[in-house]
Amino acid sequence: MKILGMALSSLLVASVAVAQTPAPPLTEQNLERGLVNLGLMAGHAFQCMPEAERPAAQAALLAFNSILIAQMGSNAAFRWATSFGAGSSHEVDRAFCERSLADWRRHVQQHRLDR
């Protein structure tokens, strides 16, 4: 949970930094918001991936969801999965794909979400 908590809090802090407001305290509600943001981000990045990369990404995302279930429970995993579904079901503006993929890959690598 420590790794996931750090990953989710850094995502929340990053979104707060863009808004240039102080970071809120780490609460259950903020962790849930981080899960939603992470799911939306993953869904958008997944749509931007070349078809050849999608099977490996899908396997990694399913593994990540299993880690969520084990470390944070099924409610957290469900929240993340539904957010991923929402992020991957809306039409993507391809102009943002390069940045979206770079942000997602950096986030995965920094927080070892692909383990």
Q: Dump pLDDT digits (tens) for 22-52.
A: 877 888 888 889 999 999 999 999 999 999 9
Residue 45 CB coordination number (10 Å): 25
- Both tokens of 82, joined, read 């539904």
Rounded distance between C-alpha atoms, residue 69 and residue 62, angstroms: 11
Residue 3 in this model has a pLDDT that exceeds 70: no
* pTM of the predicted protein model: 0.75
Tell me the helix, strand and coil percentages in the chain, rounded to 5. 80, 0, 20
- Torsion sign (Cα): 94, 31, 75, 66: positive
- The predicted pLDDT at position 9 comes to 55
Residue 96 CB coordination number (10 Å): 12
Residue 4 in this model has a pLDDT that exceeds 70: no
Query: Quick one: pLDDT band at residue 113, thresholds 50, 70, 90?
Result: confident
Domain extents in the chain: 2-110
